[in-house]
Amino acid sequence: MNKTLSASLLFSMSVSFLSVFGQGLPDALEIVRKADERFNGEKSSQSVMSMTIVRPTWERTVAFKSWTAGRDFALTLITEPARDRGQTFLKRYGEMWNWNPSISRLIKLPPSMMSQGWMGSDYTNDDILRESSVVNDYIHEIEGEELIDGSPCYRIKMVAKEDASVIWGHQVRWIEKENFLFLKAELYDQDGYLVRTELGSDIQLMDGRLLPTRLELIPADEEGHKTIVIIKDIKFNIPVNENFFSQQNMKRVR
């Protein structure tokens, strides 16, 4: 074999090796996409949850049912406590309404109310309504790997794109490697200050898929404050259409 042929063969083998090796490297965007689709990628869902609001001197639990269709439609019915039972919240595209049966009043939530806590929790109305996408509105980079509660996770930094309409300057998310589950997130404002931490735990099989069924939101600057959401049941791809998410149905859904 002459020197020219040997060099050519060596070059071809090197390119082939690098190509195969490169295909095995994880892609930050694809990891985030898979994690997002696991929880948000289905056509529709129906769930039963509870939310415990924890404060330094008191706790309060709210139970509710929710229906969703894609990212544009959502209807939530409060089932407990008794004083709030029957309240509903409707999301249609970029708008949100609240029906309160105790005063027979339907209101459209104005922009000034978007930063207020939903049902007094650490989740805001904007969190419920938000249309931002962890996939499309950020630039993703794998910073390394870490263990979260003993599970190997990718640590991924997500920096908001300049033209994205998002409130977070950047996020850091820990995504479990085997099943692509969001187990932890740190959310930072535009000035780089940590605003809150979100934790996912108690992994269970729900409607054929593994999901974290305990979600904790912990504000960074309010000691003793947190909100805990427990997913008690969830079903995906239920038969529901756009007409279900109407102002009329807000008053009669059960």
Q: What is the CATH number of the domain that holds 82?
A: 2.50.20.10
DSSP code at position 26: -
84 occurs within a structural domain: yes
Map tokens 């509870």 to a residue.
Answer: 50
DSSP class of residue 62 equals E
Give this prediction's pTM.
0.85
Decide if pLDDT at 19 tops 60.
Answer: no
Residues 6 or more apart whose CB falls under 8 angstroms from that of 164 comprise: 132, 136, 137, 138
Torsion from C-alpha of 199, 154, 32, 45, nearest 10 degrees = -40
pLDDT at 65: 97
Cα 112 from chain centre = 23
In a domain, 168, yes or no: yes
pLDDT single digits (tens) 190-212:
999 999 999 999 999 999 989 99
- Is residue 15, in this structure, part of any structural domain at all? no
| Residues sharing a CB contact under 8 Å with residue 225, sequence separation 6 or more, in sequence order | 54, 55, 56, 122, 218, 219
Contact (Cβ atoms closer than 8 angstroms) between residue 233 and residue 206: yes
137 in a domain, yes or no?
A: yes
Structural domain contains residue 22? no
Residue-wise pLDDT tens digits, 26-65: 799 999 999 998 877 678 999 999 999 999 999 999 999 9
The structural domain count of the chain equals 1
Which is nearest to 31 in space by CA: 196, 166, 171, 155? 155
Q: Is residue 11 part of a domain?
A: no
Task: Give me the domain span that covers residue 120.
Answer: 28-250
Which amino acid belongs to residue 31?
Answer: I
pLDDT (0 to 100) of residue 9: 37
